């Protein structure tokens, strides 16, 4: 199993093509995110697979960028996957998106038919680890991005958003992130306004809200408990004048404005209006920084869970190794027994029953023990005491000296 790190334009398709045709790649799953590309591979020839990956990188990655790729094997690869799924290895510690992306990659690889027993077990274990970390630690608790922090700040200032009237001014990427975090909060109404009305309609549809033209900002503000501003305008779109006019229609109803725009789109003088509170990026950055620090403290707890799960996987692998040998021995011994019974059945009526049973059992024991005796004698000749001791333990045999 190997991992190929960091994303280079065009590398994803090249990697897909290589693994699809590579004779060593028995199973593979590719995980692609905005800042990483990783392939988890179960292969029949590790050295051959590494040579193929190295050739792939040399062909598709500029020399100056080749330091971004790496190969991990065995336990280190498993540990890496567990770490990735938990979000410890993410740019934002504890972020949840990577777990969803891992599940999606796993499902896609299964659908495409290149997941077998090895990677099926590995990725199921990884998903279990991710779930444990999220339920048993606070690694993913608390907003750590501006979009998430805006909703967290709103809840701190005005309480639960259920039943509240909310307006989003803007419909770009940041507004989209804020909108996603409103999901499940149960607001009474959500109004979206944007200079491009079509964009406002698209975002409003996602939120099951209403799109209203930019020319009705004052009306929107007058009906809102919370106004989230996230536009790309280079000037103020809300100031003391238009917000003040809106507040005259609801003087006793508090209004919280959170401006995540860069540069700011709300004049700070709106704070002078009674019952109006304005918060900008400074407030959100403080929340995000505090939550990042809190999450980092949880990393050690997450790592303990990862270590526990790694030990469990190792124990299961040891048992499986033994089971493989046991199954093979059982088949071999049954083949010997069946063959000897068939041979003996041809002699029924031709030999004395006791003599026939004696021959049958002697032959079975002789064939079963033949390889054991041969290998023990070979071990003795080579002074291989470990093999001899292993045989004594397996068969609980004691020498006269013991």
Tokens of 21: 């045709």
Place of tokens 């029949």: 44
43 beta partners: 25
Q: Strand 37-43 and strand 25-32: pairing? A: antiparallel
Query: Which one of the listed residues 34, 77, 86, 347 is annotated catalytic?
Result: 34
Nearest to 367 by CA among 400, 328, 394, 339: 339
d(CA 8, CA 37): 8
Task: Annotate 69-103 with DSSP letters as a single string.
Answer: -----HHHHHHHHHHHHHTTTSSSTT-SHHHHHHH
Q: Which two tokens stand for residue 290?
A: 């505090």
Structure tokens at 272: 């002078």
DSSP string, 5-30: -S--TTHHHHHHHHHHH-TTEEEEEE
Contact 83, 128 (CB under 8 A): no
Choose among 220, 266, 209, 210: nearest CA to 246.
220
Question: Which of 49, 29, 36 minimizes the C-alpha distance to 8?
Answer: 36
Separation of alpha carbons 273 and 390, rounded Å: 85
Question: What is the helix (H) or strand (E) element at residue 218, kind and residue range?
Answer: helix 217-222
Q: How far apart are CA 28 and CA 191, in angstroms?
A: 45
How distant, in Å, are the alpha carbons of 125, 243, 245, 345 from that of 77? 13, 56, 61, 54
Q: DSSP 3-state assignment of 151? A: helix
Question: Left, alpha or beta for 69 (phi > 0: left; psi -120 to 50: alpha)?
Answer: beta
For tokens 């006019």, what's the residue? 245
Q: Tell which residue, 22, 88, 98, has the closest CA to residue 54.
A: 22
Active site residue 34: yes
Give yes or no for a contact between 109 and 115, defined as CB atoms under 8 angstroms apart. Answer: yes
Active site residues: 34
């Amino acid at each position: 199993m190997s991992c190929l790190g960091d994303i280079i334009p065009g590398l994803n398709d090249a990697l897909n093509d290589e693994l699809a045709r590579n004779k060593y790649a028995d199973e593979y799953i590719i995980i692609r995110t905005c800042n990483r590309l990783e392939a988890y591979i179960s292969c029949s020839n590790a050295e051959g697979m590494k040579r193929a990956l190295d050739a792939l990188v040399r062909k598709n990655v500029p020399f100056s960028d080749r330091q971004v790729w790496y190969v991990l094997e065995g336990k280190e690869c498993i540990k890496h996957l567990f770490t990735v799924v938990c979000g410890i290895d993410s740019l934002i510690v504890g972020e949840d998106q990577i777990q969803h992306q891992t599940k999606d990659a796993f499902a896609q690889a299964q659908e495409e038919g290149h997941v077998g027993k090895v990677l099926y077990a590995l990725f199921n274990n990884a998903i279990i680890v991710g779930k444990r970390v999220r339920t048993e630690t606070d690694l993913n608790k608390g907003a750590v991005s501006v979009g998430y922090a805006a909703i967290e700040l709103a809840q701190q200032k005005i309480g639960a958003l259920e039943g509240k009237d909310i307006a989003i001014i803007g419909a770009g990427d940041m507004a989209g992130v804020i909108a996603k975090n409103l999901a499940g909060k149960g607001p009474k109404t959500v109004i979206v306004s944007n200079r491009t009305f079509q964009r406002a309609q698209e975002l409003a549809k996602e939120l099951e809200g209403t799109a209203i033209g930019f020319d009705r900002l004052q009306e929107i503000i007058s009906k809102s408990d919370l106004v989230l501003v996230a536009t790309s305008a280079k000037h103020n779109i809300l100031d003391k004048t238009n917000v003040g006019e809106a507040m005259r229609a609801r003087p006793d109803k508090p209004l919280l404005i959170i401006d995540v725009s860069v540069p700011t789109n709300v004049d700070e003088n709106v704070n002078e209006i009674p019952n109006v509170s304005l918060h900008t990026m400074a407030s959100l950055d403080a929340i995000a920084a505090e939550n990042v620090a809190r999450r980092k403290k949880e990393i050690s707890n997450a790592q303990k869970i990862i270590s526990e799960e790694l030990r469990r996987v190792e124990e299961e692998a040891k048992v499986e190794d033994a089971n493989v040998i046991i199954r093979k021995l059982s088949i071999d011994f049954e083949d010997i027994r069946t063959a000897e019974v068939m041979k003996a059945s041809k002699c029924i009526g031709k030999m004395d029953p006791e003599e026939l049973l004696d021959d049958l059992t002697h032959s079975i024991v002789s064939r079963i023990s033949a390889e054991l005796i041969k290998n023990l004698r070979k071990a003795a000749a080579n002074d291989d005491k470990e093999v001899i001791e292993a045989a004594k333990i397996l068969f609980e045999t004691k020498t006269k000296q013991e």
